[in-house]
Amino acid sequence: EILDATASAGFGFVIALLALTAIPFVGLSTPFGVAIAFVGAQLLIGRTRPWLPGWIRRVALSASALTRIARWLNRGTGWMSHLVRERLGPLTGGPALGLVGLGLVVLGVGLALPLPIPGSNLVFIIPVLMYAIGLLERDGLMMLVGHVMALAHVVLAIAAWQVVSAALAPLARWVGIS
């Protein structure tokens, strides 16, 4: 019911819930990354509300659970209430949501990678949260920050690929793989 009532902001709710849940699960980020990429793909193809499997949609939260979640979120995000507001409207709807979806797919795939680096979850979760906040509050600036961070991830991944492939090139020649 919450997702249906919130329309496109429901994407922000689902994404924030997935990202915040992934933080404490070091080493188990793969299912959360896949789920974030799945939700991002829905934005990318133009869905206006997130689709979730029936067994997830049937999960009911009690009023007391929702109150606890709201208190926890308020404690954790209260400091940023003066930073977040509705702005840069063209970046918060229409075709711009497809770009948000693309960013979420890229970040979700990155989060799903089993990287053996402590704290690597946060590198992907922070821009995901920027997108979630932007979707929830219709804050185009937060979405723009998410775009910049996602683009930085792509640039770093390309650079890392270049370094690794250059380092492995002599080995590939030695083994006979060109």
Residue 114 phi, psi dihedral angles, 5° rounding: -80, 75
Supply the pLDDT for residue 38.
93
Burial 127-152 (b: 16+ CB within 10 A, else e): bbbbbbbbbbbbbbbbbbbbbebbee
63 by Cβ neighbours in 10 Å (0-12 / 13-18 / 19+) ranks as exposed
pTM of the model as a whole: 0.80
> What is the sign, positive or negative, of the torsion defined by CA atoms of 105, 108, 113, 118?
positive
pLDDT > 90? residue 83: no
pLDDT, tens only, 98-155: 999 999 999 999 999 887 777 778 889 999 999 998 988 889 999 999 999 999 999 9
Supply the pLDDT for residue 21.
79
Supply the pLDDT for residue 163.
92
pLDDT, tens only, 103-113: 999 999 999 98
pLDDT > 80? residue 166: yes
Nearest to 120 by CA among 14, 22, 36, 39: 22
For residues 114 and 110, give the distance between their C-alpha atoms in angstroms, rounded to a whole number: 9
For residues 147 and 153, give the distance between their C-alpha atoms in angstroms, rounded to a whole number: 10
